[in-house]
Structure 1
Amino acid sequence: MNQSALIRPDWTPATIALMVLGFVIFWPLGLAMLAYILFGERLRDFKRTANERADGMFSSFRRSSRRYGPSYSTGNVAFDDWRKAEMDRIEEQRRKLDEMRDEFDSYLRELRRAKDQEEFDRFMRERSNRGPETHYPTV
């Protein structure tokens, strides 16, 4: 920590003034500043320890999630065969759903194109029925 900082966890004139001001304005602010003065150096260690523990916990989650991937074997051949068959079945269903979604997207694109074409044709018919004397205002 930078020891030349104006507000550091130590008994400096600035921290004392902030503590007194905190008690005058709202007593929990003064109490928080007092806790920062007394325990501020320990907060760095606490933060570093908490971060290390969280990193360790999440890295163990990552390791365990890899363990249950497609190549994970329990040692029970019957269960592993059943699991592989189920995973293959689910993958096939996902592939079929993806194909159906692609077909539906192309259907919607064609539907929109047909609707746009119909509106454009109607516009052109109405325009030709009006004749050349009608002008649209310019913007």
Structure 2
Amino acid sequence: MTTATAYDPSERPLRERSWIGKTEDWMDSRGKWAWMTAMVLGFVFFWPAGLALLFYMIWGKKMFGSKCRSRMEGRGPAAYRTAHAAMKSSGNSAFDSYKQETLRRLEEEQGAFEAFLERLRAAKDKAEFDQFMDDRARKAAAERDAPAREEA
């Protein structure tokens, strides 16, 4: 008993495919930038061709294709596993208490560092404001003294 498989036109030999299919394969082998370049050139030389390529890329999943999606999916589960492993019990109570204490200490250090950065930003803002006010006061004093010098 044979199982029915879905027909995939891209699996046909190249000599059987039309010139459009061959062009699509050639563009696919070059990547997303080839499609974008063709679309921009289509808009430059004949805008309906560029528009047609844009629609084909969107609805043909060329712009948001499986390569891009699979790359993003590769990051998600790893980050999930890392976060999940930090909360999961190892079964060893001594190690779990050590891990919990270390995580608590790291959170405290992170909070202290964020407070330090906030104080640093506030000090920098105050220094910049003080410099602005000093410059403004010097300019105002110079403008007051300028008419007095002209009269003399």
- Of 78, 81, 84, the match for 1:67: 84
**Distance of aligned partners of 1:51 and 1:124 in 2 relative to their CA distance in 1, 3 Å threshold:** closer
What is the number of equivalent residue pairs in this alignment?
99
Quote the RMSD (CA, aligned, Å): 3.9
Aligned residues with identical type, % of pairs: 10
Q: Deviations over 1:35-68 (max 9, x none)?
A: x9xxxxxxxxxx97x8898787656435522421
**Distance of aligned partners of 1:120 and 1:57 in 2 relative to their CA distance in 1, 3 Å threshold:** closer
Higher helix share: 2
Code of the aligned partner of 1:84: Q
1:87: which partner in 2?
103
1:120: which partner in 2?
136
The runs of 5 or more residues in structure 2 that have no matched partner are 1-6, 30-64
**Distance of aligned partners of 1:68 and 1:127 in 2 relative to their CA distance in 1, 3 Å threshold:** same
2-side partners of 1:120 and 1:61: how far apart? 55
1-side partners of 2:105 and 2:70: how far apart? 39
**Distance of aligned partners of 1:63 and 1:11 in 2 relative to their CA distance in 1, 3 Å threshold:** same
1-side partners of 2:120 and 2:98: how far apart? 33
Are 2:132 and 1:104 aligned? no
The structure with the largest alpha-carbon Rg is: 1
**Bigger relative contact order, structure 1 or 2, given CA contacts below 8 A and separation 6+?**
1
Code of the aligned partner of 1:94: Q
Q: Structure 1: which 4+ aligned runs deviate by more than 3 Å? A: 9-12, 50-60
Q: Deviations over 1:111-132 (max 9, x none)?
A: 1111001000000011011118
Code of the aligned partner of 1:114: D
TM-score under structure 2 length normalisation: 0.50
Question: Aligned runs of 1:28-43 on 2, under 5 Å?
Answer: none
1:25: which partner in 2?
none
Could you say what secondary structure the match of 1:108 adopts? helix
Code of the aligned partner of 2:84: R
The runs of 5 or more residues in structure 1 that have no matched partner are 4-8, 20-31, 37-46, 135-139
TM-score under structure 1 length normalisation: 0.54
Code of the aligned partner of 2:119: E
1:6: which partner in 2?
none
